[in-house]
Amino acid sequence: MESKDELKKVFNILKREINNYKLEFNSKTKIYKYKDTFNYLGVNYSIKNNRIIKRISKRNRIKVINNINHDNYKYYKYYLRYFK
């Protein structure tokens, strides 16, 4: 996409299509610059060198580490490895 105006046109088309299914975007939906980072479900996403970088936020990492016990260790070990 060349400009923000083109993205707005595409966004409006998406809104109409979503309305066909009786759904709607929430008020927080917006168009981001590709260099910006954003947080979604406790994961920070950014783009560097045409790659998506995802990192778990510090607050969520602390929550995860505090919840680790013998029964769920294996799950959280792979969860945290995914974000390295």
DSSP letter (8 states) at residue 56: E
Same-domain status, 37 and 3? no
Asked whether the whole model's pTM tops 0.75, one would answer: no
Q: Do residues 83 and 44 both lie within one domain? A: yes
Do 56 and 72 belong to one domain?
yes
Q: Which residues of the chain have pLDDT under 70?
A: 1-2, 32-35, 70, 72-77, 79-80, 82-84
Contact predicate 72/79, CB 8 Å:
no
Q: Based on the domain organization, do 70 and 80 belong to the same domain?
A: yes
Domain count along the chain: 2
Is residue 18 within 8 Å of 25, Cβ to Cβ?
yes
Residue 64 and residue 24 in one domain: no
Query: pLDDT at position 83, please?
Result: 64
Range(s) of the domain holding residue 11:
1-31
